[in-house]
Amino acid sequence: MTTEAVSRPQTAARPDPSGSSPRSGQPLRVALLGCGTVGSEVARLLIDSSADLQARIGRPLELVGIAVRRLNRPRAGLDPELFTTDAEALVGRDDVDLVVEVIGGIEPARTLILSALRHGASVVTANKALLAEDGATLFTAAEDAGVDLYFEAAVAGAIPIVRPLRESLVGDEITSVIGIVNGTTNFILDKMDGEGAGFAETLSDAQALGYAEADPTADVEGFDAAAKAAILASLAFHTRVTAADVYREGITDVTTSDIASARAIGFVVKLLAICELADPDADGQRSVSVRVHPAMIPRSHPLASVGGAYNAVFVESRSAGRLMFYGPGAGGSPTASAVLGDLVTVARNRVRGAAGPGESSYAARPVSPIDDVVTRYHISLEVADVTGVLASIATCFAEHGVSIQTVRQAGRGSDAQLVIVTHRARDAALSATVRALRTLPAVREVASVMRVEGDV
Ligand code: NDP
Ligand code: HSE
């Protein structure tokens, strides 16, 4: 391992364009932060594919250190000498050109990335939680240092979606991005739908397969998808959207009866991330809405057939029309593919003395509240099977301006189950309707309320 130190300009790109730098032809040195599900695959690919990576970049990549929490864990195929628990010292080394952050979480990841950027290293990260919470600080630091911050793996695992939004579609006007962006919850919902499996056992399977976050609450409560939605909306609409701006519901309240009810009307339940650009208001201002929640979609909808831990992202834009991106959304090897793609790109940029695109947030659009979202709803009610019950319920919907599209009734002795699907209505109007339904004497229980997305 070489220990040569090179001084680093702090505020400008660090070119090696002509081959005249003292380091020309020498390896680009890579520090890896984290060697878990994703990091171990990144390390493996760096070693196994070193000759091809060198050919693609024009210079070799040399893995000079790996920061972990526990030194005593077995790390098959990796030189024990590479490992350290002193991540700060690793990113502070003057001879590190590229830093890959796959620790996850907010701290120490944020401090380490900022330190790496300030030391002049380009950074590749898979950390959607951090980008969605404080991406602006990271982008500013990268801009100030004239280096790259790439994050393809942060959204939808192996699927190229960040670069298409950031680069390929940057000349177009994106109007909506709708996706299944969490592999764990899709895996769980798919098994509940296909096999009638229970929630807890399916979550354990997802954890064993390396799909779930360290704390699976992030997956099942929708935090992970909300972070990805914030990143997607920021990229698509050239504005800053943080995780706190995203309306979020997870899948822990989705019951087997919701899934059966969806199935009965030809729908399937998916956890969706929905990012929409509104039409201009009276002042010409265009707001965005960004939300994550379970939704029923028709089985004929392209997102309905996305199974297992696969992800898919639907993009609609003014000129290109409808685009669908599909592939493995989680797991060590698929995610490492996206990390390596970024690593090659930032390495090439470095060799050319260039930097890729930075943050584009010029549009500064307001984020509209969930109350203003307009969509359709599926409502399941347990009611007394008495004369006039249907009329009283229909009146309640009408009084709140919510129009009913279909009603299905199944009798059960003295009770009946009513399943109502509405036309498009404001979320605030639907919430008010549900509150009023709960006060009707004939309504025993509002058993479930779920949004319905996708054209029928
Ligand atoms: P893991 O929990 O499997 O791995 C985390 C790694 O970070 C471990 O090697 C751990 O060390 C190390 N680590 C934790 N804390 C520290 C610390 N303070 N200092 C140094 N090292 C530390 O996570 P994943 O690989 O699953 O995820 C990594 C990132 O990739 C996250 O941001 C995640 O959201 C993202 N991601 C994950 C995907 C997946 O499918 N798993 C898909 C897409 C993105 P040790 O090994 O000693 O415990
Ligand atoms: N836990 C995440 C998921 C990993 O299940 O999608 C990929 O970001």
pLDDT of residue 386: 87
Which of residues 261, 295, 329 is at a domain's end? 329
| Closest protein CA for atom 16 of ligand 1 | 69
Query: What pLDDT is attached to residue 305?
Result: 95
Angle, alpha carbons 81-79-158 (nearest 5°): 120
Q: How far is the CA of 86 from the centre of ligand 1 (A)?
A: 16
Instruction: Report residue 15's pLDDT band, with 50, 70 and 90 as the boundaries.
Output: very low
Closest residue by Cα to residue 109 from 155, 74, 45, 154: 154
Q: Does an H or E element contain 340, and which?
A: helix 332-352
Q: How far, in Å, is the centroid of ligand 2 from the Cα of 394?
A: 41
In a domain, 1, yes or no: no
Q: Please report, for the domain that includes residue 433, its CATH number.
A: 3.30.70.260
CA-218 nearest atom, ligand 2: 1
Residue-level pLDDT at 197:
82
Which CATH number goes with the domain that contains 68? 3.40.50.720
Co-location of 112 and 187 in the same domain: no
Confidence of residue 251 (pLDDT cuts 50, 70, 90): very high
Closest-lying ligand to the alpha carbon of 224?
Answer: 2
Assess if residue 309 is contained within a domain: yes
- Flag whether 358 is in a domain: no
Residues 126, 144 within the same domain: yes
Q: Is position 189 within any domain?
A: yes
Ligand 1 lined by 75 (C-beta under 6 Å): no
Answer yes or no: do 122 and 41 share one domain: yes
The Cα–Cα gap between 377 and 352 comes to 53
The amino acid sitting at 76 is A
Domain boundary at 304, 319, 352, which?
Answer: 352
Residues 226 and 429: their CA atoms lie apart, in Å, by 24
pLDDT tens digits, 37-77: 999 999 999 999 999 999 999 999 999 999 999 999 999 99
How far apart (Å, rounded) are the C-alpha atoms in residues 153 and 158? Answer: 6
Residue 263 lies in a domain: yes
In a domain, 43, yes or no: yes
Please tell me if the CB atom of residue 334 comes closer than 6 angstroms to any atom of ligand 1. Answer: no
Whether residue 298 sits in one domain with residue 190: yes
* Block residue for tokens 């004369």: 387
Ligand 1 atom 36, closest CA: 126
User: Per-residue pLDDT averaged across 429-436, rounded?
Assistant: 98
Q: Does ligand 2 come within 6 angstroms of the Cβ of 186?
A: no
Which tens digits make up the pLDDT trace of 143-178? 999 999 999 999 999 999 999 999 999 999 999 999
List the single range of 44-53, 66-75, 256-265, 437-446 with lowest mean pLDDT: 256-265
Q: Judge if 340 and 375 occupy the same domain.
A: no
Q: How many CB atoms lie within 10 A of CB 411?
A: 9
Nearest ligand for residue 271 CA: 2
Same domain, 183 and 288: yes
- Predicted pLDDT of residue 18: 38
Q: Per the domain annotation, does 16 fall within a domain?
A: no
pLDDT band at 24 (very low <50, low <70, confident <90, very high): low
pLDDT score at 196: 85
pLDDT digit string, tens, across residues 318-350: 999 999 999 999 999 999 999 999 999 999 999
Does 120 share its domain with 177?
no
Contact 294, 270 (CB under 8 A): yes
Pair 194, 320 in one domain? yes
pLDDT band at 23 (very low <50, low <70, confident <90, very high): low
The pLDDT tens digits of the residues spanning 170-208 come to 999 999 999 999 999 999 999 999 988 888 888 999 999
- CA separation, residue 266 to residues 168, 206, 303, 447, 456 (Å): 36, 26, 14, 19, 10
- Residue 383 scores a pLDDT above 90: yes
Residue 7 has pLDDT above 80, yes or no: no
Q: What is the pLDDT of residues 394-423, one digit of tens each?
A: 999 999 999 999 999 876 677 899 999 999
Q: Count up the domains in the chain and report the number.
A: 3
Q: Residue 359: what pLDDT?
A: 97
Residue-number span of the structural domain to which 178 is assigned: 162-329
% of residues, the chain, pLDDT over 70: 94
In a shared domain, residues 149 and 58:
yes
Residue-averaged pLDDT of the chain: 93
Residue 164 CA to residue 156 CA, distance in Å, equals: 13
pLDDT at residue 14, rounded to an integer = 45
What would the mean pLDDT of 264-272 be, rounded to a whole number? 95
172: domain CATH number is: 3.30.360.10
Q: Give a yes or no: residue 194 inside a domain.
A: yes
Per-residue confidence (pLDDT) for residue 141, from 0 to 100: 98
Mark whether 42 and 173 lie in a shared domain. no
Catalytic (active site) residue 270: no
Same-domain status, 319 and 375: no
Mean pLDDT of 429-435: 98
**Is the pLDDT at 120 greater than 60, yes or no?**
yes
Ligand 2 and 184: CB distance under 6 A:
yes
pLDDT at 454: 87
Q: Tell whether 169 and 312 lie within a shared domain.
A: yes
* DSSP string covering 346-414: HHHHHHHT--------TT-PPBPPGGG-EEEEEEEEEEE--TTHHHHHHHHHHHTT--EEEEEEEEETT
